[in-house]
Amino acid sequence: MALVPSPSVDNEPLFAEVNMGGESSTITVRATVVQASTVFYDTPATLDKAERLLAEAASYGTQLAVFPEAFIGGYPRGSTFGVTIGNRTAKGRDEFRKYHASAIEVPGPEVDRLAAMAGKYKVYLVMGVIERDGYTLYCTVLFFDSQGQYLGKHRKVMPTALERVIWGFGDGSTIPVFETPIGKIGAAICWENRMPLLRTALYAKGVEIYCAPTADSRDVWQASMIHIALEGGCFVLSANQFCRRKDYPPPPKYVFAGMEDDPSPETVVCSGGSVIISPSGSVLAGPNYDGEALISADLDLEEVVRAKFDFDVVGHYSRPEILSLIVQDNPMSPVCFTSPSPSMKAESSKR
């Protein structure tokens, strides 16, 4: 692993790229996982930061960039939103109001800007966002191609622990795998990567580049990523934020719960651990726990075929007459109208 030298002072990068190249191959993809912090409660500034990072990655020849979970909108680490069993506080409701305001609508102007970034820098982009759909928020991954087209999204199907207080649940209609010239790309977010049936659904769709945006910086996360690469015979790209206390608003505006004293500004509250792993389980780049970084590797897609020769969990290593999976992949709506919506009927009654 080597650090790419910094350009001249006039174009000084935000930080050096961590680079691990592979051997040349007939089908090679330059991929980067972005390890950086949100500008919390400031979505326009976060979008500006995302563009600077994407431009820098593109300058190193990146064809695919994967950003962390909830990069746009923010991961509210340490916050309780004033919730205890049987009670919510007025302050917690107002925290949610601010968090709701930082989220983005899909489609929407922020999505248009991300698409324009992908097209401008000719990079496939996988971006973790907090999606606002009415008054419910979802932890979502957005996919864009290198021509600046929005491809689609994946909503986290199972938020973890207190995340369930602030995020809704995705359904089976947003578990896509996109076939692109650089490979078949899909994603699962954080601990839903530990759900065997969700992984199997992605494998059945032929995922080759498995993106795993996360908020888990523990050492044990690496074991999960290596296992998924081996199990799925796919490349695994896991991107996490690297955050210090100063990356969040200061107290009392933002308080880290469960600590006797608020951390000092320089305290690391999420140490990253972003990593790229091959289908054989080899670590190609990372994990990085040192700070914000661009972590890159060259992916030889022919490695997928070699790995599947050993183990194809939805092919020659399956036993469907014994074990099978049914995925309910239709959109699930809590309310369905058999006639035009009430608002449309009200408008027609005025005529």
Which residue of the set 56, 139, 153, 156 is catalytic?
A: 156
How confident is the model at residue 102, as a pLDDT?
97
Which residue of the set 95, 131, 190, 303 is catalytic?
A: 190
DSSP 215-232: S--STHHHHHHHHHHHHH
How confident is the model at residue 13, as a pLDDT?
59
Indicate if 153 belongs to the active site: no
Q: Which helix (H) or strand (E) holds 293?
A: strand 293-300
* 3-state SS assignment for residue 140: strand
30 backbone dihedrals φ, ψ, rounded to 5°? -85, 115
pTM of the model: 0.89
59: amino acid identity, one letter:
S
Indicate if 321 belongs to the active site: no
How confident is the model at residue 130, as a pLDDT?
98
Indicate if 23 belongs to the active site: no
How confident is the model at residue 4, as a pLDDT?
36
Which residue of the set 56, 69, 163, 292 is catalytic?
A: 69
Q: At 36, list the tokens.
A: 């950086």
Token look-up 């209609």 returns 173
pLDDT string in tens for the chain (351-residue length): 333 333 343 455 555 555 555 554 468 999 999 999 999 999 999 999 999 999 999 999 999 999 999 999 999 999 999 999 999 999 999 999 999 999 999 999 999 999 999 999 999 999 999 999 999 999 999 999 999 999 999 999 999 999 999 999 999 999 999 999 999 999 999 999 999 999 999 999 999 999 999 999 999 999 999 999 999 999 999 999 999 999 999 988 898 987 777 889 999 999 999 999 999 999 999 999 999 999 999 999 999 999 999 999 999 999 999 999 999 999 998 898 988 765 555 555 555
Quote the CA–CA distance of 80 and 257 in Å, as a whole number. Answer: 7
Cβ contacts of 336 within 8 Å, gap of 6 or more: none
